[in-house]
């Protein structure tokens, strides 16, 4: 069997670390691994018991690979992604740079695997926040036609990368020693996050929406091929290390019963539905190194006869990023598209 050379750009980051662990755990046929970081610091990663030094990415080295995972920054994906795919390398990108590009499929394997037909060797994975809504509600959308979606998100700090996790840990450790939350110099998040929440994930546009709120709306419309879907979102950062939660209000075109909605959610691929009243998922319980989207608290909303509410939790680093990418790679492998 020919060996597959696999590149991971951003191997030293949060998503990169999870991706390497998943490739190992899933016994993905990596013949040779090329791990890349920014080159601004010395970083080592471990894969199958071997220690690798990361280096800065260059097109010549990337072209050695049959498959490259981009888990670094928008700028890096923009610089190399399309050139590499045009040269024949399969690229799976977790950055947001190409997600809305009409020539790039934006794929959640449980929802729209058709994007992996090979017409584009560059495939994007979605924002970690919408996965919970897209995976849990796809069947409901297909059967009852979701017209409007309102979301309040409760997003873990790991969604903002390694430095945000370090910020929360450092603030908590300072609080334990000194009894107050410090305002650390050079913090990456817009406010201290320990014992705090703030309605800002990314920068704001002229309308007052954050970049995360805009991504959620635009990416969901693309994934569901539903340009007319109305989405309204408030994205909130919370002092959780891992696991994004969503409070969802969805209004459909067709009428439903709670029983029929529950059946569709429970039957959705990649979803664990918790119908019990107090049996709802939490980030600590279900959002840490888990592969599924967990949903519960399904109920009628008080505002419209065709509107219901749902609570969903998923691991932003697994289903929201690394696992979604590995699932895409496994589908390409099974379809014989990776040449191994
Ligand atoms: N975190 C999530 O939940 C999540 C979910 C979905 C998508 N994503 C996306 O996944 C990507 C990685 O996120 P993350 O949370 O893992 O971030 P992170 O923890 O901050 O890691 C960033 C990685 O990118 C590398 N990097 C930075 N600048 C680079 C450059 N110029 N050239 C090559 N490598 C560079 C870093 O290397 P150094 O160690 O040398 O700095 C590090 O390995 C981002 O595009 C993010 O939007 C993240």
- Report the alpha-carbon distance of residue 29 to residue 4 in Å, rounded: 7
DSSP, collapsed to helix, strand or coil, labels residue 251 as: strand
Are 2 and 63 in contact by the 8 Å Cβ rule? The answer is: no
CB atoms within 10 A of CB 113: 16
Average pLDDT score, the chain: 97
At residue 1, the pLDDT reads: 54
299-332 pLDDT per residue, tens:
999 999 999 999 999 999 999 999 999 999 999 9
pLDDT value at 115 more than 60? yes
**Please, what's the b/e burial string for 295-327 (b: 16 or more CB within 10 A of its CB; e: otherwise)?**
bbbbeebeeeebbbbbbbbbbbbbbbbbbbbbb
| CATH superfamily of the domain spanning 130-156+197-316 | Dihydrodipicolinate Reductase; domain 2 (3.30.360.10)
* Å from CA of 21 to ligand 1 middle: 16
How many Cβ atoms are within 10 Å of 282's Cβ, its own excluded?
A: 15
For residue 304, indicate whether it is catalytic.
no
Rounded Cα gap, residues 322 and 22, in angstroms: 8
Tens digits of per-residue pLDDT, 237-290?
Answer: 999 999 999 999 999 999 999 999 999 999 999 999 999 999 999 999 999 999
Which tens digits make up the pLDDT trace of 62-102? 999 999 999 999 999 999 999 999 999 999 999 999 999 99
Say yes or no: CB of residue 40 within 6 Å of ligand 1.
Answer: yes
The confidence score (pLDDT) of residue 2 equals 66
Q: Are 337 and 90 in contact (CB under 8 A)?
A: yes
Question: How do the domains of the chain map onto residue ranges?
Answer: 4-125+321-334, 130-156+197-316
Q: Contact at 8 Å (CB) between 279 and 302?
A: no
Ligand 1 centre and the CA of 161: distance in Å? 7
Fold of the domain spanning 4-125+321-334: Rossmann fold (3.40.50)
pLDDT in tens, 31-43: 999 999 999 999 9
> CB of 211 closer than 6 A to ligand 1?
no
> Of 231, 208, 189, 215, nearest to 95 (Cα)?
215
Per-residue confidence band for 3, with pLDDT thresholds at 50, 70 and 90: confident
3-state secondary structure of 192: coil
Residue 92 Cα to ligand 1 middle (Å): 14
Taking the model in full, what pTM does it have? 0.97
């Amino acid at each position: 069997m020919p060996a597959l050379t696999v590149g991971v750009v951003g191997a030293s980051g949060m998503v990169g670390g999870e991706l390497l662990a998943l490739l190992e755990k899933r016994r993905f046929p990596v013949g040779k691994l090329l791990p890349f970081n920014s080159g601004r610091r010395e970083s080592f990663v471990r894969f199958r018991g071997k220690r690798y030094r990361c280096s800065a990415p260059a097109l010549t080295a990337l072209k050695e690979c049959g498959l490259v995972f981009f888990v670094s920054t928008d700028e890096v994906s923009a610089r190399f992604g399309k050139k590499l795919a045009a040269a024949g390398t399969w690229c799976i990108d977790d950055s947001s740079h190409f997600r809305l590009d009409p020539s790039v499929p934006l794929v959640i394997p449980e929802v729209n695997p058709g994007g992996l037909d090979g017409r584009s060797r560059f495939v994007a994975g979605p924002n970690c926040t919408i996965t919970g809504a897209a995976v849990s509600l796809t069947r409901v959308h297909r059967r009852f036609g979701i017209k409007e979606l309102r979301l309040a998100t409760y997003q873990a700090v790991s969604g903002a990368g390694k430095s945000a996790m370090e910020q929360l840990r450092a603030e908590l450790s300072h609080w334990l020693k000194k009894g107050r939350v410090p305002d650390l110099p050079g913090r990456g998040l817009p406010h201290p996050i320990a014992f705090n929440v703030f309605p800002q994930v990314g920068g704001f546009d002229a309308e007052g929406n954050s970049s995360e709120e805009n991504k959620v709306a635009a990416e969901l419309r693309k994934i569901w091929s539903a340009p007319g879907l109305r989405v309204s979102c408030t994205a909130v950062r919370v002092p959780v290390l891992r696991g994004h939660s969503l409070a969802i209000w969805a209004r459909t075109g067709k009428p439903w019963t709670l029983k029929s909605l529950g059946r569709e959610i429970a039957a959705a691929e990649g979803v664990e539905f918790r119908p019990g009243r107090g049996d709802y998922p939490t980030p600590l319980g279900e959002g840490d190194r888990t592969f599924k989207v967990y949903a519960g608290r399904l109920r009628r909303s008080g505002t419209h006869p065709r509107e219901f509410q749902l609570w969903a939790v998923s691991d932003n680093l697994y289903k929201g990023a690394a696992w979604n990418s590995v699932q895409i790679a496994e589908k390409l492998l099974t379809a014989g598209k990776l040449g191994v």
